[in-house]
Amino acid sequence: MEELTAKQELASAFDAHHAPSNEIIEKCVHCGFCLPVCPTYVLWGQEMDSPRGRIYLMKMASEGTAEMNAKWVSHFDSCLGCMACMTACPSGVDYGKLIEATRAQIERKTERSRGEKLHRRFVFETFTRPERLRQMRWPLLAYQKSGLQAVVRGSGLLKLLPKRARAMEALLPKLGPREMVAEVTPAVGTKRRRAGIFSASECGNSASSGRRRMRSCGAARTAVLRRAAGARRRGNSSGGIREEGD
């Protein structure tokens, strides 16, 4: 039995450390309910860019019939991780666990190009940190308001940039005056309850340590709850963040 297991591990493209669960993979009956809710399948119409197709690729890699090459990896990189497929799946396939395990395997067992590594580092270390997005606002605002963006786009200079950089520039939103979120949004209709919304900035700098962020988040929640409790005792609506109405 141990020899058989060793042979299976040898044949598999995955290593033994938290490989995608074959039990979960086998739950997929390939019914196709996930197809119309998957953004990448709806956009491209490619089977392997659907949850069903990706699960099939996992199965092939697990059985050793598919290599973890660049083409194979690209289908998993394109997954948005929205998990819309999970709510549509009648078999209850936990696609979230499968895609997480597969991506961890990809990072351990494949080598990305230098350009790919820099791009992924920029995305993960910028778009996940609100304070860095705020720092990027002013240079991007100057880029748009100065007319430089129109010159760059009209002159064809963008063609000299890598494909990913061109795509990000094309997706750049039009920046305007910064909109502040009101501390309290009054209820529309009869007031029923009060709900608090915590932004990432209230939980401290995301570059800080995990324990420090947890303490900061806890302090922010405590402050809002105390403020809401004080408002309730005073019988007014100050101190809340959002009030629910009809």
The total domain count for the chain is 3
Would you say 196 and 239 are in contact if contact means Cβ atoms under 8 Å apart? no
Q: Which of 136, 138, 116 is nearest to 127 (CA)?
A: 136
Q: How confident is the model at residue 49 (pLDDT cuts 50, 70, 90)?
A: very high
Residues 85 and 45 in one domain: yes
User: Taking the alpha carbons of 199, 200, 204, 205 in that order, is the dihedral positive or negative?
Assistant: negative
Residues 129 and 105 in one domain: no
Using CA atoms, how far apart are residues 172 and 113, in angstroms rounded to an integer?
A: 25
Residues 89 and 61 in one domain: yes
Residue 78 lies inside a defined structural domain of this protein: yes
28/217: higher pLDDT: 28
The model's pLDDT over 87-131, given as tens digits with 9 standing for 90+, comes to 999 999 999 999 999 999 999 999 998 988 999 899 989 988 888
Q: Domain of 217?
A: 193-244
Q: How confident is the model at residue 222 (pLDDT cuts 50, 70, 90)?
A: low
219/190: higher pLDDT: 190
Would you say 217 and 205 are in contact if contact means Cβ atoms under 8 Å apart? no
Structure tokens given for 217: 């988040």
Residues 150 and 238 in one domain: no
Residues 131 and 215 in one domain: no
Directed axis angle between helix 130-145 and helix 148-155, to 10°?
70
The model's pLDDT over 135-157, given as tens digits with 9 standing for 90+, comes to 999 999 999 999 999 999 999 89
Cross-strand bridge partners of residue 244: 193
The model's pLDDT over 69-89, given as tens digits with 9 standing for 90+, comes to 999 999 999 999 999 999 999
* Residues of the chain by 3-state class (helix, strand, coil), percent to 5: 60, 5, 35
Residues 83 and 149 in one domain: no
Residues 100 and 22 in one domain: yes
Would the pLDDT of 167 be above 60? Answer: yes
Q: Which of 243, 246, 228 is nearest to 193 (CA)?
A: 243
Q: How confident is the model at residue 207 (pLDDT cuts 50, 70, 90)?
A: very low
Q: How confident is the model at residue 183 (pLDDT cuts 50, 70, 90)?
A: confident
Q: Which of 27, 45, 20 is nearest to 89 (CA)?
A: 27
What's the rounded mean pLDDT across residues 45-57? 97
Residues 151 and 100 in one domain: no
Using CA atoms, how far apart are residues 123 and 116, in angstroms rounded to an integer?
A: 11
Would the pLDDT of 196 be above 70? Answer: yes
Q: Looking at residue 4, what is its pLDDT?
A: 44
Residues 162 and 217 in one domain: no
Four-CA torsion 210, 21, 67, 57, nearest 10 degrees: -100
Cross-strand bridge partners of residue 185: 242
What's the rounded mean pLDDT across residues 169-176? 90
Q: Looking at residue 236, what is its pLDDT?
A: 47
